[in-house]
Structure formats: structure tokens, C-alpha cells
Structure 1
Amino acid sequence: MLSTILAFAVAIGVLVTFHEFGHYWVARRCGVKVLRFSIGFGRPLFSARWRGTEWSISPIPLGGYVKMLDEREMDVPAHERHLAFNAQPVSRRMAIVAAGPLANLLLAVLLYMALFMSGVNWIKPGVGSVQPGSPAAQAGLRGGEVIAAVNGEAVESWQDLRLALMEGLADRAITLTLSQPTTQQLTVPPAALAELEADNHGLARLGLSPARPLAEIAMVDANGAGARGGLQVGDRLLALDGQPLRGWEDFSRQVRQHPGQPLMLTVSRHGRELTLRLTPDSLAGPDGQRLGRLNVAPRQDEAWMNSLRMSRQDDPISALAHAVEKTWDTAWSSFSMIGRMVLGQLSMDNLSGPLMIADYAGQSARQGTQSYLEFMALISISLAVLNLLPIPVLDGGHLMYYTVELLRGRPVSERTMALGQRIGLAALLGLMTFALFNDIQRLVTG
């Protein structure tokens, strides 16, 4: 727990500092006087003055702010009016406001560049196993394939594949281009996608996994139905109820379909065949149906996973090019996902709040430096995208007002801006509440 909190605090501190420094740096170069640079909200825990600005750290770590001289918020002496934010031309005000999100995008580029220069590892989008009867199986996937593109968009890693499949689920259309074992195209039947939500649950039901489980037991929970039936680590699965098993997926599917019902399992143990009587526990599934469970796990095909592992180390120029491309693709995908949520094409259950972000921060930090820096780059891009949304109270809302001012030749009225601020604040609080609810639901359901 302590490591999760620390990882979250470091990530948010760096991202917010970069964001606010973007506002500060451009404001100073536009001739605007900056009164305070604060990381966090509330009464300052620490503050110091430097170059006419109060630099402070406050106890509520949910963001930060840069307070500039502004006639709309305070009395400004006549000799300093030219230093006020509101006295600047609209182009300068737009530059100052846009600088925060752009700083976060720049940070993502720098993080990705550092990763690519130091060397990155990833998993190719290889299909290790396919759930029998799943949409992936209906498309013709059997396991052992490597996917090169989804709906014409190239994918290089399993992370790329997940994002592309999520978009395909939202569009209710998925065509896979394979590079191995042969070059061909497979299309998931539209009817098989009709009931799948464009979320993690929908991705799981699609039936694809990079792992290739073998028909051999690697873990037996001492308190599970498998242990009560006599299963042991190392048992190789041969037949169920007299029918030969085609693999772990076949075994797992039949166990799920027989909750509380006895099954006769034939295994090979130390060269001898044994027949065990197993009765799967009956558990409630996600849709309310009963599912069988033995609480055992298979041995994974390590040779297959090793064949999917890739690595690359770039020179500085190539690293910069790849970093810019990665940042652009991720930002565009984030904008696309938000647009699909607004249009109702993507479930709002995909929204995550501070609890899940903190959880991801802790998980990535435990996985190593590469995972943690990738997490920070992704959250930095997400912060930039969120702030660029045309919602009053966010940077994007201010840019919207200034764009209108640029087109009309005069500022938006104070009354309109005040109304927009109230609407924007309500919308933002609503999104935060919904995201927090999603976080709590995920943590409770595991």
C-alpha cells in the first residue's frame, strides 16, 4: 500500500509540475506577472519567493495552479496593468492556456524517447489460445497466429492490439490481417460482436489471449475442488468423461459448464493413467449464471511466449521520431475514445478515477522502470487530452472562449463565462463522481 501511494504521489507530482510549469514558462515570456506557482491545493505546507513568484506545495495532491496578475480577480495598479493576463492580446492568452497540455505532451515524448534509447521490451500480438465458441474462434482463429493489423491499422504489440480491438468493438466491425502462419484476413462475424461492450469485459469475451496454456496442471489450490478431487501439480490431462481433451481451453470450458456436477477426469501421472472424480464448485458468473470452478491453473508454454518477446534500442534521432509517433497515436486514440463515449458507442464503464490510477501506478512501479515510465507517459497524455476538452474550467474551455473572441473580435460576456463555468464544473464533478464509482466497483468485484 505504501509503495502504491508513493508511486502515485511521485507520478502526479511530476505530471502536475510539468503542466503548470508550461503555463508559467509561457506566461513569463508573454510578459505576464505570475503571483503564485502551487503544486496541490489548500493552505501551503511550504512556500518561498523567487523572481517575484511565490512557489508553494500544498497538502491536497489533486492538481495545481498558476495564479497570474488579472484585473478580473484583483485590483491592479496602473503601472502594472500591462503585466496582467487579461490585458494581453488573445493570441498570447491562448498560448499561455495551451502551454499546460502541450507541456504534458512534451513530457510524454521525453519519457518515450528515454525508453526507446534505453531499450524497450514488448510482446508481439501473437494468439496463444482461443476460447472455443468465442467470436475469435468463429472468425477462424485457432491459436499460433500473429496479427499484423486490425481493420487496416498496423499493430506491433499486444497493447496496440487491445486498443485496436476496443475501437473495433465500438464500431461493431473487426477484420484481422495475419502475418503468421500465412498472410490472410479473417473477419469476426458481426452477429458475434452485437452483444459485446467496448470495454475490458468485452475484450475478454472476444476470446483471445497471448498465453498458450498446456494441458498440464501447474497450480492446485489446497482449498479448491481440484485438490478435493485428487488433482496434483504435474498431472497431464487426457480425457474427460471418456472423451479425449483437445487442450486446456476444452477442459476449462467443460468445467465451467458443469457447476456442482461430477466429472470423470483421466490424467497421466508419472507415466501412469489415473481416473479422478471431480465435482466443480458452483459460483455465480458475471451475468448471474452458475459456473463451475476447480481452482487449478495450467502450465504455460514458455517457448511460445519467448517467441513473442521482442526488444529494441534506438539511436537518439530514431527514438525521438518513434516517441513523437507514439505520443500522437496515443493522444488521438484517447480523443477517439472520449468521442465514442459522448456518442454512446463506448461504455462509460471505461472511465477510471484516482483509485484505479493509483493502483496502476503501484502495479507498474513493481513491474520495473520501463512499466512505470510507460504509465507516466500514458497518464501525461491523458492529462493533456482531458485538459484540452472544450469544457469550461478546463484549459480547453478557455481556449474555446478565446477562439470565439478571436472570431467575433470581442470577448465573451462575463455572464456567459460565469454560466459556462457553473455548467463546466457540474459536468466535471459528474465525470469525477462516475469515475470514482467505477473505481470502487472494480476494487469491490476484483
Structure 2
Amino acid sequence: MLTTLAFILTIGIVVTVHEYGHFQVARWCGVKVLKFSIGFGHPLWSRKFGKDQTEYVIAAIPLGGYVKMFGEEPLSDATQASDQDMSRALNRQSLGKRMAIVLAGPVANLLLAILLYWVLFMAGVVGMKPVIGKLVDNSPAAMQQLQVGEVVQTINQQSVTSWQDVRWALLKESLKKADIEVQTITQQNEIKLYHLNVSNINLEDEKQDILEKIGFLVAMPAIPAEIGEVTAGSPAEKAGLKTKDLVLELNQIKVNDWEAFVKEIRSHPETPITLIVERNGQPIRLNITPELIEENGEKVGRIGAGFNTPQSELDKLFVTTHYSVAGAMLKAIDKTWDTAAFSLKMMGNMLIGNVSWKGMSGPVTIASYAGQSANMGIKAFIGFLALISISIGVLNLLPIPILDGGHFMYYMVEFFTGRPVSEAVMSIGQRIGVLILAFMMVLAFYNDINRLITG
């Protein structure tokens, strides 16, 4: 249920902002807007407002939307239009205005992402310190003899303060298929420089994190399996788990630390298990059934309880980066630009065969990630919303007929030739665009289904 609601909310917000960009700039340019629709198909709600009697629609299929403007279909519109109306037709506007209108949707998506990231950065970004815990055998990191306990400082001279930063930097740099420079600091405060050969890294394997592919395993000190916060209505609460309960055994297996406890819980979705916990010095037997959730296409168990660890211990694990209002805005702009550029590079690498088309995701995968981010909390969901908004903005800028980028391509031809692209050419282009989008949608759905089947 949460996954469905999170998906509808995500697509609803991103599509509404995109179409509102077209809508508002069209009105600023004096174009008459006939319809503003969120969704496709049968209208669930429809009303007309304003002096232009613009029709506002919420339709049944929440996978997109559109803004219909007067003058998009010149022959049918012109037959019933006054001279005053014709002056407000889209096809009667200057080239500059038409360009602004067609770019407004993607720009609105990018502005939304900047706003969302700005809020996140002002709130403070919490991440795990990039301390190397273990090295994967025969990995690029192991081959260069990085040491356990070293802290990663830079990736190709990009400063990193958390494992999230390291992961993002490695993803970007791995696309170049060139050596990656990693700077670390040892426990003795000695600066070290390594060059990792990543030419053989398989970016297509979605089940293995980029950190593992490079060879890094996160340092996780042993945390006692003591229960902290218990989520209301969760399996943990229903089973009677309470804050400060210390888990001793799970299905008669001794539990040494929190990591071992979580590993067992995750491997028992919808399977009854027996816990022995210590409460006020006394052992207590509890029966609990972890709920099933999907995480990166994998079915795992969850009970809805966190660990109870002193703040001093948490400070050793996590780092919080705070930004000023202006600093957060600059960081948000940089993050949005960086993500958009990475998306374009990924698409380019797909076209030339450097990256598999298996990475393309459809609505099923997006819905799954929406649900996961919503489960993780409001900050994770806001970050996911920003990412989807960037993806939609970038996708619509591609020079494919029927997308915003395709229309902009026609306008650029008009700019250089001095005359509009003929209706015959646009008609052919539209058919080609439909075929390209249909292929992309089928491929995305296929990848979604394949992920579900293969887990």
C-alpha cells in the first residue's frame, strides 16, 4: 500500500511540476491554454476555470500529463478562431517564446530538484564515515594494498566525507574506464595515494554495490544487539519487544552483535522466529515474524526496530555535514547539475554499448524504489523525488520527436534555416518518436519484469 501511494505521489508531483512549467510560461508568453491534464486516459475529475476557460483534468493513468495550447493543431484550431484568438496561438509566437515554452517543463523539473536538495542540505546531511573495514579479495582496492582502517579523503581529487560521497564519485569516475586516484589518511595520520584500475569493472551487475566492485567494505564496529526505538504497529511491537531489550539468541543461535541480528532477521521474511532477550536482568522468550519488504529487488525481512547505542559510539560511525542557506543552495545546484550530467553520460554509454540497456528502469522499479525510500523516512523520500525529477527533466530534453527536446530540435532547425520545419517532416518525425518511445517503454517493462523474476 505504501509503495503504491509513494509511487503515485512521486509521479504526481514530478509530472505536475513539469506540466506547470509549460503552462505558466505559455501564459506569460500570451498563449491561450486549452487544457492542463495530469495523467492520461479517462478523466476522473475535470473543471474549467479562468477567462480562457482552461480545462483542468486529473486522468486515470498517472504516468504522465500534457498541456494543450491553442495553435498546436493549426488547421482545426483556425477554423473556429477569431483574429484576437489567432494572435494568441502557439504557432503565431516568436521563435524565442516557443523555445521558452518547450524548455519550461524540463527546467521546472530541474528547479524542483534544486529546491528539494536545498531543503535536504539545509537540514544537514548525515552519512557514514568512509573508513575502510575490509577489502574484497582480488579487487582493484586489494590489488593496490589499501589498508583496513584508512579513511578515504578524495576520489580523483573530489573531496568526500561519507560513504555516500565515495559511492557517487566512484560511479561517475568508473564510466571513464580509466584509473581512479584515491587519497586516504591512515590511523597514523599519513596521507597515501593509490591508483585503482577499474577497466574491468562490470557496471551492469545491479546486485553488487559499486563499493564492493572496487573492493571496499564499510567498517562496522561491533554494536550490541540492544533494541532502541520500536516502530508503532511493527512486528517488533506486536511481539512485545521493548527499548533496551538485549537480544541473546535467535532460533537457539547465539547473537553476538547487531549486525548478526539484522542479517538473521533479513533472511527470515514472513517466517516465525524465536528470540531470547534479556530484560531487567531476566531472560524472556518472544515469538516474532518479520514482515516482507523488497530492497533492490531482493525480498528481505524487517521487524521495525532500531539499535540502542550511546551517542559517543554513533559519533565514531557517522558524520553530519551542515550548510548555510547560501552554501546549501550552491551545493543543491551542483548536485542537480552533477546528477543530470551523469544521467546523460549513462544514456550516451548505453547508445554506444559501453553500458547495458538492462539498467533502464520502468514504473515497476520506480514504484519499488519509491516505497523503499518512503519506508526509510522523509529525507530519503525527498532525495528520491529529486532524483526522479532530474531523470524526467533530462529524458524530456532528448532530441526525440514528440518529446520537448524534439520540439526544441525543430526550433533550432528553424533558427538556422529561417523557416519552420514542414508539417510533413514533423508528421514523419512524430511517428519515429512514437516508435522510439514505444521501444524504450517495452524495454523498461521487460527489465522490470526480469528483475522481479530473477530477484
Moved more, 325-334 or 112-121: 112-121
**Match of residue 416 from structure 1:** 425
Alignment of 1:16-415 (within 5 A): 16-51=15-50, 52=52, 53-70=54-71, 71-72=73-74, 74-76=76-78, 77-79=81-83, 80-181=85-186, 182-189=190-197, 193-194=199-200, 196-197=202-203, 199-200=205-206, 201=208, 203=210, 204-212=212-220, 232-234=254-256, 306-415=315-424
Matched, 1:12 2:22: no
**Residue 428 of structure 1: which of 426, 437, 451 is its match?**
437
Counterparts of 1:309 and 1:5, CA distance in 2: 32
Contact 1:36–1:66 under 8 Å retained in 2: yes
Gaps of 5+ in 2: 226-246, 261-306
Contact 1:129–1:213 under 8 Å retained in 2: no
Contact 1:199–1:347 under 8 Å retained in 2: no
| 1:56 alignment partner, SS class | strand
Amino acid at match of 1:150: I
Moved more, 85-94 or 315-324: 315-324
| 2:21 alignment partner, SS class | helix
Counterparts of 2:447 and 2:162, CA distance in 1: 27
Q: In 2 relative to 1, CA 410–5 (structure 1 residues): closer, same or farther, beyond 3 Å?
A: same
Deviation, 1:219, is: 10
Amino acid at match of 1:212: M
| 2:97 alignment partner, SS class | helix
Deviation, 1:383, is: 0.7
Deviation, 1:202, is: 7.1
Counterparts of 1:234 and 1:19, CA distance in 2: 51
How big is the alpha-carbon RMSD for the aligned residues of Structure 1 and Structure 2? 2.9
Q: In 2 relative to 1, CA 344–157 (structure 1 residues): closer, same or farther, beyond 3 Å?
A: farther
Contact 1:177–1:183 under 8 Å retained in 2: no
Deviation, 1:47, is: 1.1
Counterparts of 2:203 and 2:116, CA distance in 1: 32
Q: TM-score with structure 2 length normalisation?
A: 0.75
Q: In 2 relative to 1, CA 100–213 (structure 1 residues): closer, same or farther, beyond 3 Å?
A: same
Deviation, 1:305, is: 6.9
Deviation, 1:328, is: 1.3
Deviation, 1:128, is: 2.3
Contact 2:180–2:197 under 8 Å retained in 1: no
Q: In 2 relative to 1, CA 41–172 (structure 1 residues): closer, same or farther, beyond 3 Å?
A: same
Contact 1:178–1:184 under 8 Å retained in 2: yes
Amino acid at match of 2:402: V
Amino acid at match of 2:93: Q
| Per-residue Cα deviation, 1:321-374 (whole angstroms, up to 9, x for no partner) | 221121111111111221122222222222111111111111111111110100
Aligned length: 375
Contact 2:109–2:390 under 8 Å retained in 1: yes
Deviation, 1:212, is: 3.2
Contact 2:373–2:380 under 8 Å retained in 1: yes
Deviation, 1:154, is: 3.4
Q: In 2 relative to 1, CA 82–44 (structure 1 residues): closer, same or farther, beyond 3 Å?
A: same
Deviation, 1:318, is: 2.0
| Per-residue Cα deviation, 1:125-164 (whole angstroms, up to 9, x for no partner) | 3322212222221122233222233233333433332233
Contact 2:122–2:323 under 8 Å retained in 1: yes
| 2:400 alignment partner, SS class | coil
Counterparts of 2:216 and 2:75, CA distance in 1: 56
Contact 1:127–1:210 under 8 Å retained in 2: yes
Q: In 2 relative to 1, CA 126–432 (structure 1 residues): closer, same or farther, beyond 3 Å?
A: farther
Amino acid at match of 1:123: M
Contact 1:166–1:199 under 8 Å retained in 2: no
Q: In 2 relative to 1, CA 213–67 (structure 1 residues): closer, same or farther, beyond 3 Å?
A: same
Counterparts of 2:161 and 2:440, CA distance in 1: 32
| Per-residue Cα deviation, 1:68-116 (whole angstroms, up to 9, x for no partner) | 0014362321421111111111111110000000001111111111122
Deviation, 1:12, is: 0.9
Q: TM-score with structure 1 length normalisation?
A: 0.77
Contact 2:70–2:77 under 8 Å retained in 1: no
Amino acid at match of 1:232: K
| 1:437 alignment partner, SS class | helix
| Per-residue Cα deviation, 1:192-230 (whole angstroms, up to 9, x for no partner) | x426335534734333222437699999985xxxx8xxx
Q: In 2 relative to 1, CA 164–7 (structure 1 residues): closer, same or farther, beyond 3 Å?
A: same
Q: In 2 relative to 1, CA 220–427 (structure 1 residues): closer, same or farther, beyond 3 Å?
A: farther
